[in-house]
A and B are shown apart, each in its own frame.
Chain A
Amino acid sequence: DAMVIQNPRYQVTQFGKPVTLSCSQTLNHNVMYWYQQKSSQAPKLLFHYYDKDFNNEADTPDNFQSRRPNTSFCFLDIRSPGLGDAAMYLCATSPGPGDQETQYFGPGTRLLVL
């Protein structure tokens, strides 16, 4: 089945220790997104890629970086995690821009910072 896969599902890291979260998709979608979601809050868009074109949200901290080496894979790097970065990180994909595009989410990675 076509799907969005995220690894790991749970990640524990130490304060300041870099961490990388991964996302892969078999939907062959052009657009990939990274969201951060904290408890009882709306998902917050960090980045998105349309093909290889990288789009950084204005308020995404410099501590967060992203890579998309090919159509199928996308990575989120947190260079120096702080306690405030503990959250669910969601990867989503969509076919392309337009009014009728819908986003499809992976299962998420829950990050805990000790």
Chain B
Amino acid sequence: QKEVEQNSGPLSVPEGAIASLNCTYSDRGSQSFFWYRQYSGKSPELIMFIYSNGDKEDGRFTAQLNKASQYVSLLIRDSQPSDSATYLCAVRDSNYQLIWGAGTKLIIKP
């Protein structure tokens, strides 16, 4: 059973600090990795995707991928109260199936 694991949280971070969200996956053949944000009662919204080892930056968001360790993370710099949401990690495995994590709830405290 291919799995994507996330700490359910909640992760509490002070406003202005860096929030670090982590995700591990079991299928070593996975090729692409996605971070979605989901506000309570709303649908998931794509934040970033990453395919290559290393860092990818988009504004306040940085995705980090380490395929050797089967680990992908999302950093949010200068965290704002509006960043409070559940962050879902999704991994496209070697069979092109999208495997979802259950999400990490992030709370940014003013």
Contacts and interface: CB of A to CB of B under 8 A. Distances in A.
Given A102-B46, A102-B49, A45 B98 contact: yes
B44 interface: yes
Given A40-B8, A90-B43, A99 B51 contact: yes
B10 to A, nearest CB: 11
Contact of B103 (A42, A90, A97, A108): A42
Nearest to A43: B100
B88 A42 contact: yes
Contacts of B25: none
B62 to A, nearest CB: 18
Given A40-B103, A43-B44, A90-B44, A97 B49 contact: no
Contacts of B41: 88, 110
Interface residues of A, number: 19
Contacts, number: 44
Contacts of A110: 41
Contact of A105 (B44, B49, B51): B44
A99 B42 contact: no
A100 B43 contact: no
Interface centre among A41, A43, A106, A110 (most CB of B within 10 A): A43
A63 interface: no
B34 to A, nearest CB: 6
A104 interface: yes
A98 B4 CA distance: 20
A98 B51 CA distance: 12
B102 A106 contact: no
Given A42-B88, A100-B32, A107 B42 contact: yes
A103 interface: yes
A100 B51 contact: yes
Interface of B: 4, 8, 31-32, 34, 41-46, 49, 51, 88, 92, 96, 98, 100-103
Interface of A: 40-43, 45, 88, 90, 97-100, 102-108, 110
